[in-house]
Structure 1
Amino acid sequence: MLEAVNRVLAEDFTAPIDIPPFNRSAMDGYAVIASDTKGATQKQPVTLEVLGRTYAGDAATYKICSGQTVAVATGARIPAGADAVVMVEYTREDATVKKVQIFKEIERGKNVAVKGEDIQKGKIILQRGTWLRPQDIGLIASVGAKTVKVLRKPKVAVFSTGSELVEPGSELKTDVVLYDSNRYMLQGLIAEAGGEAVNLGICKDDEATIEAALKQALQYDVVVMSGGSSVGEKDYVPDVVNRAGKPGVVIHGVAMRPGSPTALSIVNGKPVISTPGYPVASYFAFYTFGRPLFHRMLGTSGLPEAKLTAKMASGIKLHSGMQTFLRVKINVAANKKGELQYLAEPVSAAAASIQRTLTGSDGVVIVSKNRLVKGQKVEVLLLRALESAASGV
């Protein structure tokens, strides 16, 4: 069942049992008939006969009548006849005479976890399309299930194009070659979005080589490639895709920065996403188009994205008519009233080639306007947890 973490539930999951499976104590104390405690105070306690003790896991052996009680531990079964539990802090027991004094009046049902209170038998507790988290796996295990049905991950072929690229780990023999980082980043993003990446390596800038790679890639559910999607002399990808099958390239060029050369295609029913070669552009192209595609294929909205509201620490002018992914650092500062607030400091407006703007940023502001002014409220999509900032607010 642990293999189901970060997978998508294939069908509604119905509880086969009640949780708790019986009425149980939510506190250490004494199981009582609530009406027996009427008027109990510190100065005028009610005295009850203690029949015995029961702990979590003990079988049902006691039944109480008026004037009687059973000492219960947290999680223990409530004895028949009892309808409330008085916390041990409001009692004093004399074990020598099997009596306990109750110093507080308690209402019926108090400190009792009722059968089926958490989970009711026959009820749907997780819906189809749920992105399973560790706590969901715990919920499934709590009702005794050892397995759960999940959807098959889409298999996604990934390859990079570029004669300047070499495999990480190999020697850089000249100063005009680069390590292929995009392919590894994309594989990580695919896994994060619920897909299973199939690494097809690097293609040189040659039409025949790219055509052969695409033919192999189309055996899988989705194709994601990096590089060659622009309109340069050696950007062969759009032409190769168009020859591979119908309808071919559907969108070539998107009003976003970074990532404008992105191409979206369908080849014989298979989605093909062509991301730019610049790492930051490739990242946001996949974020914008790849994640929603996989979530749609899996019938899920994915995990909720972590967001926060911040104020711009400084103003910035952006490209008009473009959706800009503005990377920001988040800081915490006090306003004039002494209240702590989040401040978003721009890291870079557009630079698609500066990979460190991804790792050096806390989050992204997606902006459709041509400028942001200092003090303006913005929504920040977090790229990582804000341990230091969160501790201050």
Structure 2
Amino acid sequence: MTKRFKISLITATLAMAAFNASAAVEIYNNDGMTFSTDGLVNVFYSNSSVDETDAAGVESDHSQSRVRTGFLPSNIGFNFGKQLDDMKISMRSSFWVSLSDSDNSRDASPADLGTGSLIDVRQFYATVSGGWGEVLLGKDFGLYNRANILGDELLLGFGQTSEFFGLVDGGNVSFGNIATGYTYPFPKAQITYRTPDMNGFKLAIAVMDPNKVAANSNEDLPRFEAELMYNTSFDNGSVKAWVSGVTQSSEVNDVDQDQSGVGYGVNVKFSGLSLTASGYSSEGLGHVAGLDQFVGPDSIESEGYLVQAAYTLNDNRFVLTYGESETKNSGNVEAVGIVGDAVHSNTGFAYFRTVRPGLTAVVEYNNTEVDASNSLVAEDNNTISIGAVVTF
């Protein structure tokens, strides 16, 4: 499996729980027991034109047309719930599929080719809830930067396809604004408690399976993540604000390394206009999947932000977006064979048209730039995409 393929696989199963919660089709509802299902299929035609300079200073260009999955992979989910007096027990499982699994990689090995579809399970959990709150038991997306990515106005769109990560010819999804404004909240085994609504505030605290920073690393304590959300509404509008955090410690060959990060953001909606500003800052964490990177006593530092404006008029939604991430001494950069600091940015415009309920057409343009100055690597990537999203 190539390094490019491994990196693009990181996002082969992006979160869709919040969107599907409102699109679920109820199959059974009787005596306090419910069963429902939800699904999504999307496909895009995209054309990418890339000018790049490699670590040796050699300039080249690369143009490619694709028919592929967008930011969200196609997926199907199943939901079960049972009311037991003053307590409710629920379960969710979701299965995610890549449509971009044909022979498309310039440097793929025979093992990477074919139509495996990368069927994956990123959610398989149960919840127990009551007036006291909710406990989630199982596998779900992380809390750190979760709200940042779920609030992205390009969630149903395409986003960036940086050649730096091998995304133009990748066999999986595009990146949205991953690594250009936020990190991906990688799914983890967890035990998470969420409080009931407290005057608009809800707090989630999680104990999670730690990320191994190396094959021989020791993690004496689990990974801890938390998220505080605030929601309020006013005439013709609403405000949502959030902050999330993560902490973990590891030890490799008697060398200690701490990993920590904070994510934050605010969204204001009024009269069809939606304004979003979010950001993050981390130490010891990668800027793609938010996973830990061991670099000895020197720590990786990464920070980024995303600003967006969207306007909805009847069945039309227009989006302007700009995101940027800066990484110093990046383990993620080393993972693709390049050493040094890097700045990744993405500027985009998207138009979403609701053709019918459950059918959305998308036209999008993104310009992605990479400057890894210490290693002479640079990229200027222009991508135009046209697609459709079908949900139930």
Using the size of structure 2 for normalisation, the TM-score is: 0.24
- The structure with the largest helix share of the pair is 1
User: Which one has the largest radius of gyration?
Assistant: 1
TM-score for both structures, normalised by structure 1: 0.24
Instruction: From the two aligned structures, give the one with the greater strand fraction.
Output: 2
- Of structures 1 and 2, the one with the larger relative CO (CA 8 A, separation 6+) is 2
